[in-house]
Structure 1
Amino acid sequence: MELFSLEFVTALLTIVFIDLVLAGDNAIVIGLAARKLPREQQKKAIIWGTVGAVAIRAVATVLVVYLLKVPWLMVAGGVLLLWIAYKLLVDTDAHDDIQAGNTLWQSVRTIVIADAAMGVDNVIAVAGAGHGSILLVVLGLLISIPIVVWGSTLFIKLIGRFPWIVYVGSGVIAYTAAKMITHEKQLEQVFNASPAFEWAFMILVVIAVIVFGLRHNLRRAKAAQQLDNGRDSR
């Protein structure tokens, strides 16, 4: 795609937005890993831990970009990304297994290892949104460094105040997943024959993910309310 064209800028903004939406886990990991350090060392742990984590993620994402050129892996990546989009809406992990470090090095190591283990969703999402462009992926990740370091905690607060942001983020990831599937070379004849069918497929996928996620959350909220009512009646 042409540098700084509308398609390029749109894809770059999509990558940054995906990074923002998925940065919540990173902020939690960073906070938990550095919480026992003296205040003057916490900032160093956050910066070096994030730099190390982003470096590993950048290498992993570039590798995934190349892997997605293998036949049918775009479909596999798209399906996995759909699960990630759904999981974003319904996941309730408490991150209880993240241990705080007692030294700067221990905290940095914890941040890097935990982020690498938890960053699979981000890697696949960014690689899919990059449409095979290494430049797009690298630019998106570079923009994401200050976002993760300074903006992710603020974004968590925004999500807590405006829960609908998560649904928008999930929709963007689901759209990216659907686009990965439609761009699979083995399925070119299916989707390229009818642009209307391609768009209908992508819209249907986005709606399905959001509806299933919303349905799950409503059921969970109803079950929690019934449990609370049962406790109050005792």
Structure 2
Amino acid sequence: MEAILLEYAWVLVVLVVLEGLLAADNAVVMAVMVKHLPENKQKKALFYGLIGAFIFRFVALFLITVLVNYWEIQAIGAAYLLFISIKHIYDSKFKKSEETKEDIEEHTQKGKGFWATVAKVELADIAFAVDSMLAAVAIAVTLPEMGDFHIGGINAGQFAVMFLGGIIGMVIMRFAAQWFVKILNKYPDLETAAFLIVGWVGVKLVVLTLSHDKVGILPHEFPHSTPWKLTFWIVLLLIALGGYFISVAKKKKQVVEEK
């Protein structure tokens, strides 16, 4: 029994690390979505986002054996993230030459009220919830079952480990998102890199969709393979570092010009 408990404890640690890694890219998406709000409302939107993330992950955990059959959930999430990424980059790079500053400001604020922003965060949470729970299930099902009680088609012991790991991951995501918002406020030019990351996360969901058993364009194991995981994180880090160094250089140049 002690050996089983130690195994459960180890898997919980692994899940927390995994959720923390998943929370990093999720947090960037959330930070980008709430950045335009006043500071006090940013925190509120992230708080509601955390509540939504908790609800969606809890529901996803109960229904994961059903949700895995619907590739459309991740396809919608992928399309949504790619849309907001491409739209922002297009608006910021091409519309500036076509519109006055006032027009741009008015355009960017449309549909970006507090509750509209919360709704967008929650929509992204749905895709993230399924992604997170699929990864957690893949690890937790390797644990020996404890008792005969099952929840949502999953052994109660395995379910408990996934639930705890998910909660800790959400807390990490909440504070990481708040930190990313501060970084974006300090270095505004990082916003383009942040939206590129949002698009790259969308590509990640596209890969998950294409590897679904009912789609079958990519091998089912591909999203969980080491080459793809390394590719995803290396590209994400390159975008983040490239955006950071470019924004720091621009800020230094601006400070010099102001002097």
CA contact (8 A) 1:61 1:126 kept: no
CA contact (8 A) 1:20 1:152 kept: no
- Where do residues 153-192 of structure 1 align in structure 2 (5 Å cutoff)? none
Q: Report how far residue 117 of structure 1 moved.
A: 2.7
CA deviations on 1:114-140 (whole Å, 9 max, x unpaired) are 221344322210122222411111111
The residue number in structure 2 matching 1:121 is 131
Gaps of 5+ in 1: 74-91, 158-204, 221-234
Q: Return closer, same or farther for 1:2/1:26 CA change in 2, 3 Å cut-off.
A: farther
CA contact (8 A) 2:49 2:125 kept: no
**Structure 1 moving runs of 4+ over 6 Å:** 1-4
**Aligned letter for 1:145?**
M
Structure 2: how far apart are the matches of 1:4 and 1:153? 37
Residue 140 of structure 2 corresponds to residue 150 of structure 1:
no
Instruction: Pick which of 123-132 and 95-104 moved more.
Output: 95-104
Structure 2: how far apart are the matches of 1:54 and 1:18? 17
Other structure's SS at 1:121 match: helix
The residue number in structure 1 matching 2:39 is 39
Q: Return closer, same or farther for 1:123/1:37 CA change in 2, 3 Å cut-off.
A: same
The residue number in structure 2 matching 1:19 is 19
CA deviations on 1:181-232 (whole Å, 9 max, x unpaired) are xxxxxxxxxxxxxxxxxxxxxxxx9666568x49x97xx9xxxxxxxxxxxx
Gaps of 5+ in 2: 70-81, 89-107, 142-153, 184-223, 239-259
Other structure's SS at 1:37 match: coil
Q: Return closer, same or farther for 1:110/1:139 CA change in 2, 3 Å cut-off.
A: same
Structure 1: how far apart are the matches of 2:170 and 2:86? 25
Matched residues, number:
150
Residue 119 of structure 2 corresponds to residue 109 of structure 1:
yes
**Aligned letter for 1:109?**
A
CA contact (8 A) 1:53 1:111 kept: no
CA contact (8 A) 2:56 2:126 kept: yes
- Given candidates 119, 137, 145, the residue that maps to 2:162 is 137
Structure 1: how far apart are the matches of 2:118 and 2:128? 15
Other structure's SS at 1:5 match: helix
The residue number in structure 2 matching 1:95 is 85
Q: Report how far residue 112 of structure 1 moved.
A: 0.6
Structure 2: how far apart are the matches of 1:31 and 1:210? 23
Calculate percent identity across the aligned residue pairs. Answer: 28
Q: Return closer, same or farther for 1:7/1:95 CA change in 2, 3 Å cut-off.
A: farther
TM-score of the pair, normalised by structure 2: 0.46
Other structure's SS at 1:95 match: helix
Q: Report how far residue 105 of structure 1 moved.
A: 1.2
Residue 54 of structure 2 corresponds to residue 54 of structure 1:
yes
Q: Report how far residue 42 of structure 1 moved.
A: 0.7
**Aligned letter for 1:27?**
A
Other structure's SS at 1:102 match: coil
CA contact (8 A) 1:51 1:145 kept: no
Other structure's SS at 2:85 match: coil
**Aligned letter for 1:134?**
F
